[in-house]
Amino acid sequence: MKTIDKIFIALLFLFPFILFSCKKDLSETFKDTGEQKLALSADVDSLTLDVSNPTGKAVKFSWTRGSNQGTNAGITYQFQLALAGTNFQNSFSVDLEKGTNTLEYTHEELNAILTEDISLNFDTEADLEARIIATVAVEGMEPQVSETLNLFAKTYKPIAKTLFLIGPATAGGWSADDATPMNVVAGTAGGFTWQGKLNAGELKFITTLGQFLPSYTKGDNDQQLYLRETDSQPDDKFNIPATGVYQITLNIITKVISIEAKDAPQYGQLWFVGGFTGWNFEPMENDMLDPFVFHFNAELNSSNATDEFKIATVGNSFDGDKVFLRPAVNGQGAGTNLDVVKLSGDENPEDNKWKIAPGVYKIKLDLRTMKIDIVKYNPFPVIYLVGGATSIGWDIANALPMTALSGNPYKFTWTGPLGTDELKFTCDKKTDWSGAFFLASTANKQPSGTVEPMVYSPAGSGTDYKWKISSAGTYTIELDQLQETVKITKQ
């Protein structure tokens, strides 16, 4: 009897573990079949789409895997979005590859879907429905459809992607076909800028070449824009008081404008174009310290023994009335302090161009003196760190060498400790400090952690701007002496 009692007690003790083991085995078997109910979710359920943040995330959809009914077959998905109550008629849909379980849209992307694919009006509030459909790659198996997900959204009216100056103050006058293009301000929605010569007279802005509407005219004052969409609306213009060089900066979202007379070059942007670029327009870099100076540093390749180039003042146009910067004599070769002339194609039927051998060049153009240097670049074999932020301080004779990247004599890297002090780069370790340096663009420049321009200071010249390290630690520095850029990143 005692033996039976002991067995009974032992069984009672083991029973929960037996149940747990069975449950675990059953759970794992269920999981292995791939069974999972299809369900769609979103990280927001209400959103007002933002014209000022076109590339920012508006919404992220996520969904569970669904079931392949234990077949081990792949599952593909279709996302659908429609107006609520339409049973997904006239819906927007997108097919997605297997393994995908998220879908993200920016404000600009979702606004385009709602206004173009689903045909919502601009500045309209709407209730929406979304669902996900899962299809297993097995013939005859019915697709799975998630429950409907409800959303609310408000659209916006898209803004123009281009903007042009028009009026007697501009070179094209009132010709909508010859309006002057503005440049987009990178990273600023609705931002445009332009710098150049204006005549005394009126101007306004159009959004499309050849069309006078819509346009942006003068608002309540000289700092405000007004969007004019019909001929019946006010058509006040901005007035340029005197001929000169001006910089125009504006934003068509905030409708704020600045027109500023400048002691500045006639051209705020220039492009290198020729046989070396396949006649594509490559932007030149404006000097960090002098707006009249432009640089183009590049390896110029050609299958010819020599090839040619000129410098454009207007991007992507070879029209005869467009001005190019050219040599005074056609076929001028490389050299320093060479004369530059401004001539359009109509004014210069010979189409003067520089002609040089392929190679690595640093080209410097000065619009103040109308001179150009076209010089083959011989890289420094080593670039060095020096400054109070380094372990050697200002002992330039022992400046810290950077390491050249294999196969690229222009790029260097360095990783090591930096303290809280100043830093610059010496190219030759001259102990009398009369050598060449790469310097910061401003005094006490804080490293951005991204690629930023440097200022090349030849022997014994230049403003002595340095980087200021504000947080001690281990840093990685990547330097490009050809493009004159640096990236200083704290690890």
The residue-averaged pLDDT of 7-16 equals: 44
CB 379 within 8 A of CB 410: yes
Does pLDDT of 467 surpass 90? Answer: yes
What percentage of the chain has pLDDT greater than the value 70?
92
pLDDT of residue 171: 85
The overall average pLDDT reported for the chain is 91
264 or 425, greater pLDDT: 425
The answer to which of 187-191, 255-259, 281-285, 370-374 has the lowest mean pLDDT is 187-191
All residues at 6 or more sequence positions from 211 whose CB lies less than 8 Å from its CB, including other chains? 176
pLDDT band at 45 (very low <50, low <70, confident <90, very high): very high
Q: Cis check for the bond before 214: say yes or no (omega within 30 of 0).
A: yes
The residue-averaged pLDDT of 329-354 equals: 98
Q: In what order do the strands lie in the sheet with 452-453?
A: 403-405, 408-418, 473-480, 485-490, 452-453
Does pLDDT of 301 surpass 60? Answer: yes
The residue-averaged pLDDT of 210-222 equals: 97
The residue-averaged pLDDT of 327-334 equals: 98
Q: In which region does residue 24 sit, left (phi positive, over 0), alpha (psi from -120 to 50) or beta (all else)?
A: alpha
Does pLDDT of 248 surpass 70? Answer: yes
Q: Give the span between the Cα atoms of 56 and 242, in whole angstroms.
A: 42
pTM beyond 0.95: no
Does pLDDT of 435 surpass 90? Answer: yes
- The residue behind tokens 């400048």 is 262
245 or 310, greater pLDDT: 310
pLDDT of residue 144: 95
In DSSP terms, 41 is beta-bridged to 62
What percentage of the chain has pLDDT greater than the value 90?
80
The answer to which of 2-6, 165-169, 209-213, 244-248 has the lowest mean pLDDT is 2-6
pLDDT of residue 195: 87
Task: Write down all domains in the chain, each with its CATH number in brackets.
Answer: 40-154 (2.60.40.10), 164-261 (2.60.40.3620), 271-376 (2.60.40.3620), 384-490 (2.60.40.3620)
CB 168 within 8 A of CB 202: yes
Neighbours of 471 (CB within 10 A): 11
Q: Give the span between the Cα atoms of 356 and 334, in whole angstroms.
A: 6
